[in-house]
Structure 1
Amino acid sequence: MSGTVHALEHWLFNYRRTWYGSVFSSFILPVLFLVSIGYSVGAYVDDTSSLGGVDYAAFVAPGLLASTGLQLIAGEMTWPVFAALRWGNQYKAMQASPLTPAQMVNGHLLYGLIRAVIALVVFTIVMALFGIFSTAWAPLVLLPAALTSASVIGLLYSFSISIETESALSVAHRFGVVPITLFSGVFFPLSQLPQYLQPIAWLSPLWHGAELCRLIVSGTPTSWWWGWHAAYLVALTVLGWWLAHRCLTRRLTV
């Protein structure tokens, strides 16, 4: 456990020196998204029957919250991970210390989750200030949003550790992260997609996270659907964490 803490301290110390470079993308940009999309675009949405009877801002805000966590994890677990293995050689330096590969992975993934949770807390406060919350359950939306981040962190980490060239990272963002963000029910109900595409969207962790966040914000977390969404995200979290351990161990084994 102490080794994991030491690995975590390394990434936190590094972030302490560079945090100001992430203020806009982590905190200000999500707020601008909520204002510009939730309220500006929402003003043109007259028919809210497909949104569950809520206004567009209340529909899109929980989805944006889940999406914020995924986007931040995608940023932290792609180029920085590839750089730690290939360019900065942080992992090689750690390998020369008493740290084990498992401790290196745990420290880096925990750091990514901490980064995501900080941004999610800020976004949750903004949602409260904008009057999105209307029930006592609503502040708990932070939990499924954090679980959404956890569900993708190990998978993205494993991908970044396994690839050979950095160009694959651009491909992953362009053909993975962006389509998932656009077509996972964040900005419009999944029912608006063609029927043959809907089963594909069901595989997206962001769709499950966005739906779970909406159940919390709407005050209906007792719906049986929440168990299905949560179980899927937990399964992806466990799978991703296991793959991350396996991939880094294989990379560092001579």
Structure 2
Amino acid sequence: MRDKVIIFAKKIIFGLRLGIVWQLLDAVKFELEKRSLQIRAGLMPGLPADRHGNNQLKKELLLFYGKDEPYQSFAGSELKDLPFLREGEVRFKIIKENLGIKGGTLLDIGANLGYFCHKFEEEGFECYAVEENKMLCYFIEKLKKVSGRSFKVICRSIFDYKKNQKLVFDAVLALSVFHHFLKSKENYFKLIELLKRIKAREFFFEPHLPQEFKGKTFYKNYTPEQFVDFIMENSCFKKVELIGESEGGRPIFKFSEK
């Protein structure tokens, strides 16, 4: 029995050490990628990155995305000339017009470049941007500084944010992000646990359209209606309504406690 306990303890210690090593390697990779991007964009040695102004930021964004367009539009006027893939203003207006609260805390799950935190901070909300991609977090912080915003950036997976605790916010946004969690069995069940942890007065959800991902492998590939039923079954929400459509026909739903 004692030997089994020792073996089990060694496995735990090994796992913890391995996890720390992976975290360190990930941090080093991010720093190298960031520095390479800054230099390619013309950052002068010895001069802080924020002293190069918006032109440096534009160059870094364009280099980071390469031939692709940034997914989100930009809230600040300084970067509105850059191309983007998804229009944010339409979705922002739909949500704003259907908000039953005038302020409080707002969580944006999968914040990307932080567009919605910029916009809702203007409306008086205390915003929290959760984004797992470290390079996107780097850009969120830079865009936040350029615009003089104060919202909080949480650079980690939403599954690890306040783990094993309730996520208590006045409003929560999950816009075109949850379908990524349907691709594997592991993340599907993590999503169920996440939904059980969310405690919000209002929850705004934009699902994907299954036909957009033909040929892709999903553990579950819900229609918007099936996704809504799934959320209702696994969350605290009692009411749901369709409040509009974003560009491309993706529906936007509002869930509420009452």
Larger Rg belongs to: 2
More strand by share: 2
Q: Smaller-chain TM-score range?
A: under 0.3
In the superposition, the TM-score normalised over structure 2's length comes to 0.27
In the superposition, the TM-score normalised over structure 1's length comes to 0.28
More helix by share: 1
